[in-house]
């Protein structure tokens, strides 16, 4: 039985020259509008507005006046969306470590304060080679998890696990070292 293959007509391709002309003409106005509405990222939102306009250029009527109307309708809708998002988002504050009273010495600091350098070396020698390397890179060299992972050729999750196991082992060897969990 023969089948009939129906093809949808290809959507009209937006005119790039028209888009460039509209962008040059209206992007400063759209940016000013969004800045006047006090959006968080007016430049980024301006780009979103023009990205939303681009697929609609093939159906655009009214020339530059129609483009302006459609463009500012999109800009207003994006502004309203952002305003609603900000109303729903919880208020945030910056973290100030100097004002945080929950400070306590880490297990590493406690160990170094209690033990001399030779005893620390002896304790570190009880760890597996990977654990020794993680402690050396994370504690002594003060490198980030990501940098340590890159150096050792492991994932950040594996580095966190190795560090956790190494510190647990050190705590077992020195039972009077307790982590303050308050």
CATH for 50: 1.10.1740
Q: How many CA atoms lie within 13 A of 2 on its CB side?
A: 3
What would the pLDDT profile of 68-119 be if each residue is shown by its tens digit? 889 999 999 999 999 899 888 887 788 787 777 776 666 666 666 665 656 6
Q: Does residue 21 sit within a domain?
A: yes
Q: Does residue 121 sit within a domain?
A: yes
From CA 43, how far away is CA 61, in angstroms rounded? Answer: 27
Question: Do residues 77 and 102 make contact, with C-beta atoms less than 8 angstroms apart?
Answer: no
Q: Which domain holds residue 37?
A: 16-88
Which uninterrupted H or E stretch holds 45? helix 42-53
Q: Tokens 């509209």 identify what position?
A: 22
Which of the listed residues 60, 88, 116 is the one where a domain comes to its end?
88
CATH assignment of the domain containing 130: 1.10.10.10
Integer CA distances (angstroms), 85 to 60, 76, 80, in order: 29, 14, 9
Write down the pTM of the prediction: 0.46
User: What is the total count of domains within the chain?
Assistant: 2
Q: Does residue 51 sit within a domain?
A: yes
Residues 84 and 119 in one domain: no
């Amino acid at each position: 039985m023969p089948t009939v293959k129906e093809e949808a007509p290809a959507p009209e391709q937006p005119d790039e020259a028209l888009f460039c002309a509209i962008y040059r003409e209206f992007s400063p106005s759209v940016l000013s509008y969004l800045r006047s509405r006090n959006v968080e990222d007016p430049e980024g939102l301006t780009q979103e507005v023009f990205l939303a306009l681009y697929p609609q250029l093939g159906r655009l009527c009214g020339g530059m006046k129609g483009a302006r109307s459609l463009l500012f309708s999109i800009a207003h809708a994006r502004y309203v969306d952002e305003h609603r998002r900000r109303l729903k988002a919880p208020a945030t504050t910056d973290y100030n470590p100097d004002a945080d009273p929950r400070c306590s010495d880490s297990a590493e600091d406690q160990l170094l304060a209690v033990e001399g350098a030779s005893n620390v070396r002896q304790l570190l020698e009880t760890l597996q080679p990977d654990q020794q390397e993680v402690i050396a890179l994370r504690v002594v060299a003060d490198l980030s998890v990501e940098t340590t992972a890159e150096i050792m050729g492991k994932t950040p999750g594996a580095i966190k696990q190795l560090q956790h196991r190494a510190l647990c082992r050190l705590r077992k060897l020195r039972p009077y070292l307790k982590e303050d969990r308050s």
